[in-house]
């Protein structure tokens, strides 16, 4: 119990700046906000109380410990403006502990280099200043996580990660942390959880410094229908999970993520979710299939009329 109180106190301390007063400003490393997990994305980004398995490394690391044995997770996100996100993760759970590692690579594509000295007509064809060279832009996020189950109802997780962003002519890097706690109430499958993600120092660009996109999530979930202590309806074949996250980002006003997941015989999944108080993000949906120890997931996120939708795909191997 003493350990639990210490962890809860640490989490509240880290989140004090987020909930003490509303701060809206510029943050760095925006790619850290983008989840590579199709399941979480299709449920509106509400991950605090429903993170599962190896993919917990991208959500609430406190849930990592509930997967025993070896697990893997590979995902591809086709983001807007031809940006590609590729993620690979592995975890191992043993007894009341679990460890995991992950790596995520972001490819922003390339930008053609121009020079005013090249501006003009060449053999009757206008050259807008192209030199024939290009700049390759990208970012990486690598981390190692630890999760421990302190009691039959309470667990915590901690991730240390090394994050870099490379603009070809200049690059920046930083070490940051994610912390999560998860509490199984034992009543009607209700789970309470909280996370603080991207906690770390500011990133300096030339003469200006900007904080990381630190985000605090407080989540609640329950099975409305299912076989294990559902909130309303018992069913051995049908399951309906609902969840909501209260989100306090460092660079925006308070937000809410709401999600729902229906499954049939733990084989086929249909998901949907909505993000409240976002500029462009709103409706999300996705599908999932689990064949023995293999999980396949797809998620789609709508970004409104002026931006293209985002597709996410993943494959995972569970309890190998």
Whether 49 and 66 have beta carbons less than 8 Å apart is answered as no
Angle, CA 55 vertex, CA 37 and CA 215 arms, to 5°: 70
312, pLDDT greater than 80: yes
Give CA–CA dist 284/43, Å, rounded. 7
Count CB atoms within 10 A of the CB of residue 7: 21
Boundaries of domain holding 18: 2-317
What is the rounded distance in angstroms from the CA atom of residue 74 to the CA atom of residue 276? 28
Residue 107 structure tokens? 């490819």
Q: Name the domain count of the chain.
A: 1
Q: Is residue 104 within 8 Å of residue 162, measured between CB atoms?
A: no
CA distance 105 to 87: 6
CA of 200: how far to CAs of 125, 197, 312, in Å? Answer: 51, 9, 28
Q: What is the pLDDT of residue 124?
A: 81
Question: In the prediction, which pLDDT does 18 show?
Answer: 45
Place of tokens 């502990």: 97
- Residue 193's pLDDT is 97
233-234 and 215-226 strand pairing: parallel
| CATH code, domain carrying 22 | 2.40.160.40
Question: pLDDT per residue over 110-152, tens digit each?
Answer: 888 888 888 888 888 888 878 888 778 899 999 999 999 999 9
Q: What pLDDT is stored for residue 112 in this prediction?
A: 83
> Taking the CA of residue 164 as centre, how many other CA atoms within 13 Å lie in the half-sphere pointing to its CB?
12
User: Who wins on pLDDT, 171 or 236?
Assistant: 236
For residue range 37-54, list pLDDT tens digits in order. 999 999 999 999 999 999
Residue 292 has pLDDT above 90, yes or no: no
Mean pLDDT of 187-212: 92
What was the pLDDT predicted at 129? Answer: 79
Cα-to-chain-centroid distance, residue 4? 25
Give pTM, 2 decimals. 0.87
DSSP 151: S
CA atoms within 13 A on the CB side of 33: 18
Give the C-alpha distances (Å, rounded to integers) separating 310 from 41, 158, 196, 304.
10, 29, 25, 11
Higher-confidence residue of 308 and 154: namely 154
pLDDT of residue 158: 98
Kind and range of the H or E element at 7?
helix 2-14
Task: Please say if the pLDDT value at position 15 is more than 60.
Answer: no
- For residue 1, the model assigns a pLDDT of 53
Residue 169 has pLDDT above 90, yes or no: no
- Poorest-confidence range of 131-135, 242-246, 266-270, 271-275? 131-135
Q: Can you list the positions of beta strands (E) in 191-293?
A: 191-199, 203-205, 208-210, 215-226, 233-234, 238-249, 255-264, 268-276, 283-291
CA 157 – CA 6 distance, rounded (Å): 13
């Amino acid at each position: 119990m003493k350990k639990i109180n210490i962890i809860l106190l640490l989490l509240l301390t880290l989140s004090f700046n987020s909930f003490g007063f509303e701060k809206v400003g510029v943050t760095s490393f925006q790619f850290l906000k983008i989840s590579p997990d199709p399941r979480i994305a299709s449920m509106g980004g509400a991950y605090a109380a429903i993170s599962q398995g190896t993919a917990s490394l991208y959500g609430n690391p406190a849930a990592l410990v509930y997967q025993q044995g070896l697990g893997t997770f590979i995902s591809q996100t086709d983001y807007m403006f031809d940006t590609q996100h590729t993620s690979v993760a592995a975890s191992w759970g043993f007894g009341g502990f679990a460890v995991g590692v992950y790596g995520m690579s972001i490819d922003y594509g390339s930008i053609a280099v121009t020079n005013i000295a090249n501006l003009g007509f060449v053999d009757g064809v206008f050259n807008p200043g192209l030199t024939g060279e290009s700049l390759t832009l990208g970012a990486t996020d690598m981390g190692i996580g630890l999760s421990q189950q302190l009691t039959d109802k309470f667990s915590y997780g901690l991730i240390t990660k090394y994050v870099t962003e490379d603009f070809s002519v200049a690059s920046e890097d930083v070490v940051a942390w994610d912390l999560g706690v998860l509490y199984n109430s034992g009543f009607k499958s209700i789970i309470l959880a909280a996370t603080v993600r991207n906690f770390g120092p500011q990133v300096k660009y030339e003469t200006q410094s900007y904080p990381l996109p630190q985000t605090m999530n407080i989540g609640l979930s329950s099975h409305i229908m299912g076989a294990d202590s559902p909130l309303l309806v018992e069913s051995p074949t049908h399951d309906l999970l609902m969840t909501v996250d209260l989100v306090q980002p460092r660079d925006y006003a308070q937000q809410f993520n709401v999600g729902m997941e229906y499954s049939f015989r733990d084989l086929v999944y249909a998901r949907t979710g909505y993000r409240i108080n976002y500029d462009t993000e709103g409706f999300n949906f996705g599908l999932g299939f689990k064949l023995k120890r293999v999980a396949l997931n797809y998620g789609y996120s709508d970004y409104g009329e002026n931006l293209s939708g985002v597709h996410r795909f993943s494959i995972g191997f569970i309890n190998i």
